[in-house]
Amino acid sequence: MPKFYYKAQLIKQYKYYAFHKPYGVLSQFSEEREGDLTIGKYFNFPPDVYPCGRLDKDSEGLLLLTNDLIFKQKIMEPKNHVCKQYLCQLEGIIDSSSCQILESEVFISVNGKRYRTKAISADISNCPKTIQDRQPPVRYRKTIPDSWLMITIDEGKNRQVRKMLASVGYPVLRLIRWQIAELKLHFPVGSVIEIDPAQVLPH
User: Catalytic amino acids?
Assistant: 56
- The span from the CA of 191 to the CA of 170, in Å, is 30
Instruction: Quote the CA–CA distance of 97 and 165 in Å, as a whole number.
Output: 13
Angstrom distance (rounded) from CA 98 to CA 170: 9
**Contact criterion met (CB below 8 Å) for 75 and 54:** no
Q: How far apart are CA 33 and CA 15, in angstroms?
A: 29
Supply φ then ψ for residue 40, to 5 degrees.
-70, -15
